[in-house]
Amino acid sequence: MSQAEARWLNANLAVALFALDPAALGGIWLRARVGPARDRVMAGLELALAGQRAARLNINLADDALFGGVDLAATLAEGHLVRSRGLLADPTVMILPMAERASAGFAARLASALDGPVRHGLIALDEGAEPDERLPSSLVDRLAIHLDLSDIPLSEALDLSIDRDALRDARARLPHVEVPEAVIAELAQVAFRLGIDSLRAPMQALAVARASAALSGETEIEQSDLLTAIELVLAPRATQIPEAPEQEAQDDTPPEPQTPDPDNQPPPEETEQDETLDLPPVELLLEAARAMLPPDLLARLQAGKAARPSASASGSGAAKKGNHRGRPLPSRPGRIGGDARVDLVATLRAAAPWQPMRRAVAINKDKLLHIRMSDIRVRRFQETSDRAIIFVVDASGSSAMARLAEAKGAVELLLGEAYSRRDHVALVAFRGTGADILLPPTRSLVQTKRRLAGLPGGGGTPLASGLKSALELAGLAKGKGMTPSVALLTDGRANVDLSGAANRGQAAADASLMARAIRAQGVPGLVIDTGLRPTRGLDGLAGEMGVPYLPLPRADARSLSAAVDASLNPA
Q: What CATH number is given to the structural domain containing 401?
A: 3.40.50.410
Q: What is the pLDDT of residues 270-323, one digit of tens each?
A: 444 444 344 446 677 767 666 666 655 544 554 444 434 333 334 444 455 544
326 and 290 share a domain? no
Which of 346, 369, 384 finishes a domain?
384
* Alpha-carbon torsion (559, 565, 567, 569), positive or negative: negative
429 and 554 share a domain? yes
DSSP state of 162: -
CATH classification at residue 195: 1.10.8.80
Candidate from 243-252, 410-419, 435-444 with smallest mean pLDDT: 243-252
Q: Are 466 and 428 in contact (CB under 8 A)?
A: yes
Nearest to 334 by CA among 325, 320, 323: 323
In a domain, residue 361? The reply is: yes
Q: Are 485 and 391 in contact (CB under 8 A)?
A: no
84 and 127 share a domain? yes
Half-sphere exposure at residue 108, Cβ-oriented, CA atoms within 13 angstroms = 3
202 and 179 share a domain? yes
Q: What is the pLDDT of residues 395-414, one digit of tens each?
A: 876 555 555 666 667 667 76
549 and 400 share a domain? yes
Q: Are 526 and 306 in contact (CB under 8 A)?
A: yes
539 and 405 share a domain? yes
Which of 127, 142, 162 finishes a domain?
162
368 and 407 share a domain? no
22 and 110 share a domain? yes
Q: Are 66 and 108 in contact (CB under 8 A)?
A: no
Return the amino acid letter for 283. E
194 and 215 share a domain? yes
In a domain, residue 175? The reply is: yes
Number of structural domains found in the chain: 4
365 and 440 share a domain? no
What is the extent of the structural domain holding 56? 1-162
Q: How far apart are CA 211 and CA 382, in angstroms?
A: 42
In a domain, residue 527? The reply is: yes
135 and 183 share a domain? no
pLDDT of residue 481: 78
Taking phi first (over 0 means left), then psi (-120 to 50 degrees means alpha), and beta for anything else, what does residue 120 get? beta
Q: Are 360 and 444 in contact (CB under 8 A)?
A: no
User: Do strands 377-384 and 387-394 pair parallel, antiparallel, or not at all (unpaired)?
Assistant: unpaired
Q: Are 334 and 340 in contact (CB under 8 A)?
A: yes
142 and 180 share a domain? no
Query: Angle at CA 382, nearest 5°, toward 380 and 383?
Result: 140
Which of 384, 411, 437 finishes a domain?
384
Candidate from 170-174, 249-253, 440-444, 521-525 with smallest mean pLDDT: 249-253
Percent of the chain at pLDDT above 90? 10
In a domain, residue 412? The reply is: yes
Q: How far apart are CA 354 and CA 373, in angstroms?
A: 13
> What's the distance, Cα to Cα, between the start and end of the chain in Å?
29
Instruction: Kindly state the average pLDDT of the residues 499-516.
Output: 90
In a domain, residue 248? The reply is: no
Average pLDDT of the chain to the nearest whole number: 77
In a domain, residue 256? The reply is: no
In a domain, residue 275? The reply is: no
pLDDT of 567 > 70? The answer is no
In a domain, residue 258? The reply is: no
